[in-house]
Structure formats: structure tokens, C-alpha cells
Copies of this chain bind each other. A is one copy, B any other.
Amino acid sequence: MTETADSTVRTAAPSEEGGIERLYASELANETEFLAARTRSVGSRRANEVLASLDLKVRSYSVLSLACSGLNPSQRELAEFLFLDPSQIVALVDQLEKRGAVQRKADPRDRRSNIITPTAAGKRLYAEAAAEVQAAGEGALSALSPAERDQLRSLLRRVAFADQQD
């Protein structure tokens, strides 16, 4: 009763006919957090679609990509970088290893950790997957000019990696 409007069903039209676009005007739709979440949703939906033909998901694709980076990540590093629990990395690597795309190699400096490296087949698989993902990504970003895409990527990088640095 103490709030701004009495608002039962009077303030705005209830549901109209067509669309959801009304809700673009909500406060929520202007929170960066929410927008990032929605962007991710549309992004991974698309990516999962194109990756399905290669029997990959964004998760396994991410692991494969890092394995192919030449940076020799350990499982612990994959977990930290991807914000996943170490046990989830185990499952993802198991799966990629079983299909012959990556290998676990003992880290000579620390035999506790496994360094994940791609096989030749894994590299080919990644090349294919990366091309498709990038194409799909371009589609998703079609609303932006190339310069704007760079700008968006750069801003996101600074936010996404802010806790540590960039």
C-alpha cells in the first residue's frame, strides 16, 4: 500500500496479443547481469545446435579448445578457468579421451596433475568445430558492426577477467 502505484491490473495492458517485447522495458532487461545471461543463453543454444553434428557440446568444445591451445592446461586449470568443479572436468576429459580426441599426460614437474593435450584427430575435430562455432557466433552478432563486435568483446574481457586481471 505504501508503494508507487496501486497497480492491480490497471497500470499497463495485461497481455495484449503478440509479444514479449513489452518486457524489454523492464528494469531487469537493463541489468547488465541479466543481459549477459540472456546473451549466453542464445549463444550456447546456437553453439550446441551446430556442435551436435560433431557430437560435442559447449562444455566439451571448451575443453577441447583449451587442449588445442598449445598452453598445456592441467585439469585443475581447466576447472578454474571454466568455473567448473574438478569432478566435472574428469567426466569431460574421460569422454574426450574415450573418443580419441585428447590425452592425459603426466606433468613432469608435478606428477599429481594431468596435462591435457590433443591428438591429431582431436586437432582436426577442433578445427571443424571452431569453424562452425565461429560461423554461428557471427550470426548471433549480426546485429552489430565489426567494430562494435570488437568493442563488445573487449569490454566483456575486462569484466569476465576482472577478478584476476587482464
Contact = CB atoms under 8 A, between A and B. Distances in A.
Contacts of A72: 9, 11-15
Contacts of A36: 36, 39-40, 43, 156
A29 to B, nearest CB: 7
Tier of interface size on chain A: 35 or more
A151 B155 contact: yes
A71 B22 contact: yes
A21 to B, nearest CB: 6
Given A11-B70, A15-B72, A160-B39, A65 B27 contact: yes
Given A32-B156, A133-B31, A107 B15 contact: yes
A43 B32 contact: yes
A151 B153 contact: no
A159 B153 CA distance: 12
A155 B159 contact: no
Interface in A104-122: 105, 107-110, 113, 115, 117-118, 120
A28 to B, nearest CB: 4
Interface of A: 1-3, 5, 7-9, 11-15, 19-44, 47, 58, 62, 65-66, 69-74, 77, 80-81, 83, 105, 107-110, 113, 115, 117-118, 120, 123-124, 127, 130, 133-134, 137, 140-144, 148-149, 151-153, 155-166
